[in-house]
Amino acid sequence: MGVTLIQVTKDEIETVWKMQTEAFSELLEKYQDFDTNPAVESLEKVSRKFSLPGRIYYFIMAEEKRVGVICVIDHQDGSRKRISPIWIMPQFRGRGYAQQAILEAEKKHGSYHWSLDTILQEKGNLHLYEKLGYHQTGEIRKINDRMDIIFYEKD
């Protein structure tokens, strides 16, 4: 079963925020990254991000449900498009929805010139992005003793 991307409206931001908080809480507990983890972002911060130019949030739809969210930053000026963040709700993980959502985003915004970052210690994430043609840039940012962020690009 495939996924579809449905653009989030301003009235749905609170739903996005609640989903984000739930989806990232396990990683927050695991890595204790209270400065960077999306689970600690306020509704106001998510609302501000939603309003930034070039930023488009999509619900990832499958099984007639909102199974996750992907945010695409696309300034449509030739600069790299960016995925930040993407998540699948815990009860829907392991079904290929993230991969399908990224492919759908690439169909909508063009399949070249992308960037993203992820947690180096989350090997499943690394495998997913590399399988989709993203390559490590060599940049790694240490967040704390438990966690590093690794950067990817796709040309």
- Domain coverage including residue 64: 4-154
Is the entire prediction scored with pTM above 0.85?
Answer: yes
User: pLDDT tens across 85-127, in order?
Assistant: 999 999 999 999 999 999 999 999 999 999 999 999 999 999 9
**DSSP label at 78?**
S
Number of structural domains in the chain: 1
**Pair of tokens at residue 89:** 């709700």
Average pLDDT for the chain: 97
Q: What are phi and psi of 3, to 5 degrees?
A: -110, 160
**Cβ pair 93, 86 in contact under 8 A:** no
Whichever domain contains 96, its CATH number is 3.40.630.30
